[in-house]
Copies of this chain bind each other. A is one copy, B any other.
Amino acid sequence: MPRSTKPPLPARRPLVTVDIAALTIIDGRPHVLLARRPDAPGEPWPGAWALPGGFVDVDADASLEACARRVLRERTGIDAQWLEQVAAHGGRERDPRDWSITLLHAALVPVDDTRQAGGQADHVRWHPLRRNGRPKGVKLACDHGRLVAEAVARIRRKSEYTDLPVRLLPEPFTLPEMQNVFEIVLDRSIDKKAFRTRVLAGEMLEELDSARATGKRPARLYRLRDRRQLHVFRRALEGGDAAA
């Protein structure tokens, strides 16, 4: 069959990478996981901090989510509890090597699992975030500063009307602990009573028999009924940005 009758597959294909903005809370402040780019010749942005990412491997990856989990595990040793696609960005100028697309993901890592990343020595590190969602005091490779801010914005916005931030806590947890991570993610204080009423009415928590002694009156312990199932509240918290 002559080649000219073949279907018009494109002559050139874009590079496709997956980048993961893994978020956690350390010392009461949000952090993002960054990796140092290799110094090898030909590598773009040698030595710069960047989101952990990698190319889609058509031999190894069954799906894009599988790809993201593999990349995160291989580069940082972390298995994310929560992982979601945020957006795709593409263009000619992103990567000097070729027209490239990144599939940006956001991941939430409970404080407990934070140390998994420590083993990778100096090449992987948690960096604190500013209130605007950008890493403090580091210039990131490529457009990764923007990407981090975009992922943080997505998580923040969704935290206004879902129980997303619980994924930053190891189980079991207390309601004050839960309120605390919400306040850190949303960067504002929340009324105690309103928060408790809202959360308990949501019925996504399982009440345990035990309690945790924090020094004074012990707080009751809870667990999520289904860690994969996001609970969507009927009303958003107020004071939120109302931005699209």
Contacts and interface: CB of A to CB of B under 8 A. Distances in A.
Interface in A25-81: 38, 40-44, 55-59, 61-64, 67
Given A41-B1, A42-B6, A85-B88, A56 B244 contact: no
A200 interface: no
Contacts of A238: 234
Contacts of A138: none
Interface string A122-166: 000000000000000000000000000000000000000110000
Size category, A interface: 35 or more
Could you tell me the dominant secondary structure of chain A's interface residues? loop
B234 A58 contact: no
Contact of A42 (B5, B67, B231): B5
Interface stretch (A97-105, A110-118, A168-176): A97-105
Contacts of A231: 242
Given A63-B89, A63-B91, A234-B242, 16 more contacts: A5-B40, A5-B42, A7-B38, A10-B15, A10-B56, A13-B15, A13-B56, A16-B101, A56-B101, A62-B91, A67-B90, A88-B88, A161-B236, A232-B243, A234-B238, A234-B240
